[in-house]
Structure 1
Amino acid sequence: MVSSPHEAMHQILQEDPAMFVRSFRKLGIDFPEPVAVSLMPTDLTELRPVERRVDTLLRFDTARGDGYLLAVESQGRPSTEKPSAWAYYLAFVYAKYRIPPVLVVTTQDKHTAHWAERPIDIGPPQWPALTVRPLVLGPHNVPMITDPEEAAQDIPLATLSAITHGKNPDIAAILKALSSALKTIDLDTAMIFSEFTELGLEGIPAADIWRHLVAVDLSFFRSQTAQNIRAEARKEGREEGREEGREEGREEGEAKGEAKAVLRVLDARGIAVPDEARATISGCSDTYVLDTWLDRAITATSIDQVLGDTTSA
């Protein structure tokens, strides 16, 4: 079954195929700039009942006429079956289109990246008949983009950075830079890359950080997606509060849930909450005041701006 991170990585290259050229130029491999990019059929099945399908196949046409095919594969872990499949893909598309192919492998895992970038010799060691040399994009060579201005200059690359470094201890800074950068572009494009990021981080803790950032930093979009995420966090907090507060009454339980929602937003945004302020929020029983604090937490830059001169009942 194809995973969400698997889908997201090669869809980013579909959204901005030229990012491939920019990425590898930073690694010292100078591919010619494309003047046209075409999405090619990904079905590489022959008449025999053996289905083989590459993740993404793109055709790059250049001004010099030396175009090439880009076969993109997302890889979660090493696989003994992949080398022969990759060799098949490259041989098949070259035989079919007579255009030089390039294999790009994307991954979130450093071990998988180092495994994938090793040349694959097919044939006896005395004389390999075919050598497959994948180009790999992973946490070992994709830059960590933690500066919002740098992220805004190349949002597709910043998105790939966030996904490939999803397991890095500094992922919060990477995601914060990306969320800030998305504010600089139009709503539709921002939501596309926001969804790519969420898909690419699915199943790891970084996904929770990203969901909170989208709910907070992208709330100004007033998009249904962002509003739904925020409403879901609020609902989850209230449900947790009601669960804990069964014996204390429904209203107090909802207050506990609202307090949890306020603290979760503040924590997700990286706003320091001293113990005294945390106790104030957790101990508040006035849902109106808590709603006010939750609204303020979306744009505040300090805990003082959240609590302000509001007093709880």
Structure 2
Amino acid sequence: MPLPRFTEARIESADLADVVPRELRADLLVLLVDDRPVLVIVVEAQLSDDGDKSYAWPAYVAGARARYRCPACLLVVTPDAGLAARLARPIVLGPGDGRLTPFVIGPQGVPVVTDIPAAKERPELAVLSAMAHGQTGYGIDVATAALAASAGVVDEERKALYLDLVLASLEESTRRVVEGLMMRNYEYQSEFARTYFQRGREEGFEKGIEKGIEKGIEKGIEKGIEKGIEKGALEPVVHLFERRLARPLSTDERDRLAERLHVEGANRLADRALDMSPEALAAWLVGKNGP
């Protein structure tokens, strides 16, 4: 077995108690029993790519295998199709055949449940279907089936959670349609959703207001500075034109000059005042003989 390139071989402590984290807590552990444990399924929900998991997950599986003295495996659930493909790659533990290959369920692994009678028979699958496909073209259909199935759940806390999960899994436009069909101004019912989804909605609303105020102030300051600069530049130009014409400018002439100042700039207008004859300058100010 070829070894990786190295420059030194050390003898280190063989006590591994502090190497493996003292508390390994998976998202869910399912134990299959037939008089005795026959399989441990360690379930992990993954929303984003976390490189540390490839080091922790083998410890989860090894710990579960040692505790129940039966085969163990890892099942990862993710709503991201690209992430599902990456997480399905084997985790190589070292030389030889040591590796852990997770079982991964991504959106493609969850069936599209749109039939309401079938959804009512398996409400959990219907909810998973809405979570996996709620932002696709099936959004309204899977949400309708899942909500109908959730309404028949006896456990009120579980029913509230299912309703919340379905609505939170939809695109904004789809959610508005579904809410319009079933209710108005829906408030999340489960403690889980109130803690996470509602807080996210409130924080998003607050951030939107803050951002709007901030942008408004910035725009106002920029506009004020711009107007101030233009006004400050206008008076010397007006003075120059009045000197050349030997008379005060009318209100219409000042407005025309202000418009041209915004387009041409003070230097260009000063050149006009000095290069053009008083008669041509007067005609230009009322919009004749040139732009």
- Give the TM-score taking structure 1 as reference length: 0.47
**Structure with the greater relative contact order (CA < 8 A, sep ≥ 6): 1 or 2?**
1
- Give the TM-score taking structure 2 as reference length: 0.50
Which one has the largest radius of gyration?
A: 2
More helix by share: 2
